[in-house]
Amino acid sequence: MSIPSFRMKDVFSLVKTAKVDHSRPVIETGKKKMTAPVVYITRIESFSACHRLHSLQLGEEENKNVFGKCNNPNGHGHNYKVEVTVKGPVDPVTGMVMNITDLKKIMQAVIMDTLDHKNIDKDVPYFKDKVSTTENLAVFIWIELQKQLPTNYLYEVRIHETDKNVIFYRGE
């Protein structure tokens, strides 16, 4: 009996086009049946970007009072660290919540290609009329990730703006 050979490209194509049931599968463990465990996966990326905290709804003096040195007309930069956490049932066939390589590719497109070495205020259209706070940055990343991840899989976007300033957003 011969074992059929598969090209990796064909396998990847099948995986990408397969309809995935994201409900919690039932796993049989001996005599018991239980739903698949829900597991959280976090991937971390780092990027550098600059921005200026400045609200178009405030005057110059008020912006200076509210945002202080972060309102510098020339902007300022950060080395951001972004943690993206997804959650879902462990697939009994693959043993994965999702392929971490897929998450890596999605984060590359949404975070790295869009934000790394960019002026957030000038290079990212979302911030044309929004203050580029880390809070709004987390919301932006969430919105963009939601477009590419399986429904209800995104759990949290956590951004380390500095070693001491960390925010997180869970879609609420």
Catalytic site positions: 70, 117, 161
How far is residue 103's CA from residue 110's CA, in Å, rounded to a whole number? 10
List all residues 6 or more positions away from 104 whose beta carbon is below 8 Å from its beta carbon.
43
Distances (CA, A) of 96 to 40, 74, 117, 129: 10, 45, 33, 40
Length of the chain: 172
Distance, in Å, from the CA atom of 61 to the CA atom of 54, rounded to the nearest integer, reads 11
- Alpha-carbon gap, residue 142 to 28, rounded angstroms: 35
